[in-house]
Amino acid sequence: MTSRRRRVTGRLLFRIGLVCLVQLLLFIMGMDLVRRSALEEPWRRGLERTMAYNVSEWAPLRGQPEALQEALDRVRRRLDMRVSLLGVDGRLISTNTRRDFAPLPPEQLERLGRERVITYTEKSADTPKDRPERLVAVAIPETGPLEAYAILRETKPPPPPTHMMALIGVMLACTAITSLVFAQTLAIPLQRLAGAARAFGEGKLDTRVGMRRRDEFGQVSQAFDEMAERITLLLRSQKELLANVSHELRTPLARIRVALDLANEGDASLARESLADIAEDLGELERLVQDVLTTARLDLTTGQTPGATPPLRRERVEAQVLVDKAAARFRSARPEHRLDVALEPDLPVLEADPVLLRRALDNLLDNAGKYSEPNTTVRLRARVSGGGLEVVVADEGIGIDATDMQHLFTPFFRSDRSRARKTGGVGLGLALARRIVVAHGGSLSLESQPGQGTTARVQLPAAPQA
């Protein structure tokens, strides 16, 4: 595993180093281009003007061979300028170089007569084949018909100053060093992220990156930690599902087995007395399976792709009828509790799945009765709110700890108090109720104080006007 990490890091460093090398090459090419355009070209233009000026000074000396030769030798000694003066017919007038420049052909003479100064190349035995010599021809006189001309070899521009080369070298070294440091700043957090992802994939669910940074790496680290936390909670919930469901199945199945054993022993009277218990136990099993299936069904509803048909059987439902039926079922199921119902007149019509919405209200009322003592009051309120329906279910029960509030809508979660009271259930009631409400475009919120009771508040949108 370590060698693999080193290979990955080495590849990353190699790629970043390669990018830096390309950057350095581009920088050098750019500097060379700048030198050519910003230094050599102006230098050449200045050299041509200097040559033209010197030729204009030599032109009057054509009738004085000795003075002309002395002027050419002087410019050779001081400026290392190699010059030859030729007539229009190609005859050599004077020169300060051992090499004889070839006379200009007629087409170049015609061009020189028009432009007065031209630059051209010429191959010779002293120059490489792929780099011909650059020459400059200057017309004599400056204006008028061409009488003669001077050919001068173009000298090379001076090299960059030594301090400039040193500065470029320092810049290149700094670029290389900063590139390596930058590569390390990328490789180290990426290694950390890869290690955390690999460890989490191996089953170490407590693995977190934990990078506290304000850049993109910090955002990726935070996103990974949040994802890991959600996945861990989901896996823990799924593991608890088997334990919770098996615990809830064990009791009714045991009672059914006892009843069947009694019937098998031939005690008809006890068998008949057990039929009601068997029916009740089968009802509990049916509700448990139905709750699990409904939760999965609503997960498909809230997570479906756009354009898919939601698995809700919507129809227009009178809110007052819905609440009245929920109240009647609660009174029948829990006669030991007092139910205080208050309904505003003219409650809106809902467009909803009546079976699912009735299940949500039943779950809220059942929780209110389950976690409150007998002979206490459960309050059921319904009113118009924001153009929709608001239903409030409040009890005077044991309440909920603040630490459990954030997990109440997690499937299969049960608070410690509910476990201690052996109230039963697998922790699907509130999760299922919320999924049903959200699937109908509404919201479900809880308010609770330990020892004072819990209030559930449901907001549902009204049906559009027909």
- Write out pLDDT tens, residues 343-374: 998 899 999 888 888 888 988 998 888 888 89
pLDDT of residue 11: 66
Q: What is the mean pLDDT of the chain?
A: 78
3-class DSSP assignment, residue 126: coil
Structure tokens belonging to residue 269: 């009277």
Give residue 393's pLDDT band: very low, low, confident or very high (50, 70, 90): very high
Contact yes or no for 151/37 (Cβ under 8 A): no
Q: What are phi and psi of 377, to 5 degrees?
A: -100, 135
Q: Which long-range contacts (CB under 8 A, 24 or more apart) does 112-115 make?
A: 112/137, 112/139, 112/146, 112/149, 113/139, 113/145, 113/146
Q: Does the pTM of the predicted model rise above 0.75? A: no
Helix axes 429-439, 354-370, angle to 10 degrees: 150
Distance CA 466, CA 464 (A): 6
121: exposed, middle or buried (C-beta count within 10 Å: 0-12, 13-18, 19+)? exposed
SS3 307: coil
Q: How confident is the model at residue 175 (pLDDT cuts 50, 70, 90)?
A: confident
Cβ–Cβ < 8 Å for 118, 137: yes
Helix (H) or strand (E) holding 392: strand 388-394
| Selection from 252, 258, 290, 254 nearest residue 274 by Cα | 258
Half-sphere exposure of 41 (CA within 13 A, CB side): 7
Q: What is the pLDDT of residue 282?
A: 79
Nearest to 154 by CA among 59, 233, 47: 47
Lowest mean pLDDT among 266-275, 293-302, 362-371: 293-302
Q: Give mean pLDDT, residues 5-26.
A: 65
Residues 6+ apart with CB under 8 A from 225: 208, 209, 210
Q: Which amino acid is at 384?
A: V
- The residue among 349 and 99 whose pLDDT is bigger is 349
Residues 465 and 397: their CA atoms lie apart, in Å, by 40
Q: Which comes out higher in pLDDT, residue 347 or 302?
A: 347
Whether residue 459 is predicted with pLDDT greater than 90 in this model: the reply is yes
Question: What would the pLDDT profile of 235-257 be if each residue is shown by its tens digit?
Answer: 876 776 666 667 667 767 777 78
